[in-house]
Amino acid sequence: MKRPILLHPDPRLKKLCTPVSDMTDDLRSLGDDMLATMYDAPGIGLAAPQVGVLERLIVLDCVKAEGEAPRPLIMFNPEIIASSDETSVYEEGCLSIPEHFADVTRPAEVQVRWIDRDGKEHTEEMGGLWATCVQHEIDHLDGKLFIDYLKPLRRQMITRKMTKLKRELARDKP
């Protein structure tokens, strides 16, 4: 089931999310719903707070090549356990901040640990777009948005534009 995506500014996007302590059918369904929402948007990552749930859950699928099989990941309690000194710069966007993009510098490679929907623990080294995406989504779980990496003036400008967009969208609703 597709869920509505919260738009910045929204106080829920700035909250620290609580760890998932017990794998429930509701949480598994939430993960499935988040994947459906992410693919529909379309996006390559989505964090639970973006759909109004303040728990440590992200989904991603950074396979973009035509004809390549998708690789959907549902990650409960994801954490970066190691990161490279080498950095990379990617132009990032966010489903909660549509139409806005900016270059963000992050570690080029990370090692991530998480629990899957069956309760099994995984550890994986990620690089390139996967590394950027997983770091971006984990930031969401800590109440941090990609615009928080920008200079204050640029961040304020984007926030003002998003506030205006939310007012327009609210006005257009029947």
Active site positions, annotated: 137
Give the span between the Cα atoms of 93 and 12, in whole angstroms: 18
- For residue 107, is the peptide bond before it cis, meaning its omega torsion is within 30 degrees of 0? no
List of residues 6+ apart from 60 with CB closer than 8 A: 38, 44, 45, 46, 72, 73, 75, 130, 133, 134, 137
Q: Which residues contact 113 (CB under 8 A, 6 or more apart)?
A: 78, 79, 81, 121, 122, 123
| Contact between 45 and 58 (Cβ < 8 Å) | yes
101: left (phi over 0), alpha (psi -120 to 50) or beta: beta
In Å, how far are 52, 55, 76, 115 from 21, measured between CA atoms? 18, 10, 9, 11
